[in-house]
Amino acid sequence: MRILLTVFLLLISSVTFGQKKNKIEHNEKIVGKNLFDSTEIKGTEYIFPERIHETYLDTTNGFLTVQLRGIKKEKWLSNRGNILQYDLNNKSLLWSKKIVYETNTLQQFSNTMIFTVAKKSNCLDIKSGDEIWEVKNNIYYVDPVENIGIGYRFNNSTSYSNELEGIDLKNGNIIWKRFINREYGWNDVFYTNDSTMIVVAAGLHSININNGRGWDYHTKTGKKVYTGMIAANAVGVAAGLMTGTGTFITPTGYSLVRDVVSNSLVDSSYIYFASKEQLSKINKETGEIAWNHLLPYDLASKSTIFMNDNVIYMVNKGYAFMGSRKLDFGKPFIAAFDRETGKQKYLTLINVRKDPILDFKILQNEIYLVFKNRIAKYSMITGNLIIEKEFHEDRYGDLKYFVGNRTFVRNENNNLVSLPHLDPSKTFVFTNQRKTLSVDDYLSVVDMINYEDLSIYYLHTADLKFIAKDKQTLIVDNKGKEIAEIEASSKAFLIGTTLYDKQDKSFIAIDLKEILSKNKSSTPVE
């Protein structure tokens, strides 16, 4: 009898502990003020038991999916966490599920929830968390309109194959198969029309999402490395996970340098694309190659291409990735090519090893390049160096990137304005010391702006701008008039008339219906 009582008490204790562990509190709180009439702005705060890592809001059902991921004492993200499905309308927890972030991923699109565990993907019922179907496939991508997932088939003998499958997400049935090399991972996915997608993976591959058919353009977008020194540096590679750079990666039996590739530049008829081997112009309907321009051997790296009039410009940055680790690769250069013929106009090698291009900016007919401790300016017409200047680390820190138009400051009239628009004759560079350098045409520093003086313009409607500083947002109309101030970070997002934000353990919903309706007009925001 005593044993039975002990077991009963243990069961009660474990249930109570589980309920407490996943307990979610909610309350109404004041989150800001309407600056027009000084009335309070209120929101609903949902407090979860641990740090919120990711969220997905299904406004149709009123469900909030929250991935919890704590931080260890060493300030590292925990590898384990929980998925909670919460009903915002009824203020109730529907279900919870454990997740191991190194090997598990969760993808959501409307009513579809895909939970991938190493060698298989499960479709979960959003209301109960129960498994609806399972496939031996690591689903890389989901088309939410056609409700089709695509991923590589898992073979027991050889791990993941190069056989890409299209999967009907309603029932898990395989509807098509296609061979696409996954050796260098996936670099990008984009659409050329409603049903045709382009997968960037060891080249370009056109895929009709409904039947898997399409053309292939093969090229190298990485390099196999067998040396032990570099191989030892390959860290953070998890099967089928998407890295912070937006690239899908999978482990192999050797070390692999990846992301030796450019963005895909698309016009009405063609795709322009640079790989480790060449820059190419490809017909986006047929896959026919209009022209190829071979790049110098072992020079290419991660790059950016862009178009100006009839010229394709290429900024080769001098780095690539091994797993999620950035490493020096190739050499930095800038180049220009005729858009119609592919003929090279110039290729200027920036002969500096282990000093990659971190960012670039175009001003008139000049291209500014930022490196760790220097800035260089080149002519876009000739490719010649105009001026170069060193920036001493002990005074400025390490240079990081050029500041864009969404960074705002107060002008002399105390109005919030875009920093680059404040003085178009200057270039602004951010450093790792949280300083913004104002640089003139001669690359001399004429001013330094503290991080505390900067705000981020992160969201807009047709009539209002949302500008954040730390965890506070100022709502401004198109004339610069300040409308309201609220407690929200630059990660907040607007659905309908409600602004949502996550901060540490809290998820906050703020009803802005009154503010949005009072400031409604037909004036667009550029």
- Report the CATH number that the domain containing residue 429 is assigned in CATH: 2.40.10.480
pLDDT of residue 86: 98
Clarify whether residues 330 and 405 are in a common domain: no
Q: Write out pLDDT tens, residues 343-375.
A: 999 999 997 778 999 999 999 899 999 999 999
**Closest Cα partner for 137 from 259, 247, 251, 239?**
239
CA angle, residues 366, 403, 426, in degrees to nearest 5 = 50
Q: Write out pLDDT tens, residues 123-157.
A: 999 999 999 999 999 898 999 899 999 999 887 76
Where does the pLDDT of residue 209 fall: very low under 50, low under 70, confident under 90, or very high at 90 and above?
A: very high
What's the mean pLDDT when you consider all of the chain? Answer: 89
Residue pair 178/210 in contact (Cβ under 8 Å)? The answer is: no
CA angle, residues 412, 401, 359, in degrees to nearest 5 = 135
Give the other-Cβ count within 10 Å of 244's Cβ: 7
Clarify whether residues 333 and 262 are in a common domain: yes
**Closest Cα partner for 431 from 469, 401, 394, 390?**
401
Domain span including residue 249:
222-351
**pLDDT surpasses 60 at 320:** yes
- Residue with the larger pLDDT of the pair 118 and 222: 222
* Span 186-190, average pLDDT: 95
Q: H/E element holding 325?
A: strand 325-328
Give the other-Cβ count within 10 Å of 62's Cβ: 12
Task: Judge whether 249 lies within some domain.
Answer: yes
Alpha-carbon gap, residue 502 to 32, rounded angstroms: 16
* Span 493-503, average pLDDT: 96
**pLDDT surpasses 70 at 2:** no
* Span 318-324, average pLDDT: 92
Clarify whether residues 230 and 346 are in a common domain: yes
Task: Judge whether 258 lies within some domain.
Answer: yes
How is residue 196 annotated by DSSP? E
Using only C-alpha atoms, what is the Rg of the chain? 26
Q: Write out pLDDT tens, residues 210-234.
A: 999 999 999 999 998 875 544 333 3
Alpha-carbon gap, residue 427 to 361, rounded angstroms: 9
pLDDT of residue 235: 35
Alpha-carbon gap, residue 23 to 1, rounded angstroms: 33
Residue pair 80/99 in contact (Cβ under 8 Å)? The answer is: yes
Clarify whether residues 335 and 227 are in a common domain: yes
Clarify whether residues 229 and 300 are in a common domain: yes
Clarify whether residues 237 and 344 are in a common domain: yes
Euclidean distance between the first and the last CA atom of the chain, given in angstroms as a whole number: 75
**Closest Cα partner for 193 from 264, 268, 139?**
268
- Strand segments, DSSP code E, in 237-322 are 241-242, 248-249, 255-258, 265-266, 270-274, 278-283, 289-294, 303-308, 311-316, 319-322
Single out the residue in 414, 429, 453 at which a domain terminates. Answer: 453
Clarify whether residues 323 and 430 are in a common domain: no
Task: Judge whether 91 lies within some domain.
Answer: no
Task: Judge whether 108 lies within some domain.
Answer: no
* Span 273-300, average pLDDT: 97
What is the pairing mode between strands 359-363 and 92-100? unpaired
Clarify whether residues 243 and 266 are in a common domain: yes
Residue 347's alpha-carbon distances to 360, 390, 401, in angstroms, are 16, 23, 23
Task: Judge whether 34 lies within some domain.
Answer: no
Alpha-carbon gap, residue 324 to 229, rounded angstroms: 17
Q: Write out pLDDT tens, residues 63-74.
A: 999 999 999 877
* Span 458-471, average pLDDT: 95
Q: H/E element holding 231?
A: helix 228-231
Token pair recorded at residue 73 = 């004492």
Where does the pLDDT of residue 242 fall: very low under 50, low under 70, confident under 90, or very high at 90 and above?
A: very low
- Residue with the larger pLDDT of the pair 17 and 517: 517
Instruction: Give strand pairing partners of 466.
Output: 459, 475
Clarify whether residues 226 and 331 are in a common domain: yes
Single out the residue in 351, 372, 396 at which a domain terminates. Answer: 351
Domain count, the chain: 2
Which percentage of the chain shows pLDDT scores above 90? 78
Clarify whether residues 300 and 377 are in a common domain: no
Residue pair 133/125 in contact (Cβ under 8 Å)? The answer is: no
Single out the residue in 351, 374, 403 at which a domain terminates. Answer: 351
Task: Judge whether 471 lies within some domain.
Answer: no
Task: Judge whether 365 lies within some domain.
Answer: yes
Q: Write out pLDDT tens, residues 413-456.
A: 999 999 999 999 999 999 999 999 999 999 999 999 999 999 99
pLDDT of residue 21: 67
Task: Judge whether 73 lies within some domain.
Answer: no
Alpha-carbon gap, residue 97 to 24, rounded angstroms: 15
pLDDT of residue 1: 52
- Longest CA–CA span in the chain (Å) reads 92
Alpha-carbon gap, residue 202 to 401, rounded angstroms: 29
Clarify whether residues 334 and 398 are in a common domain: no
Where does the pLDDT of residue 486 fall: very low under 50, low under 70, confident under 90, or very high at 90 and above?
A: very high
Clarify whether residues 366 and 345 are in a common domain: no
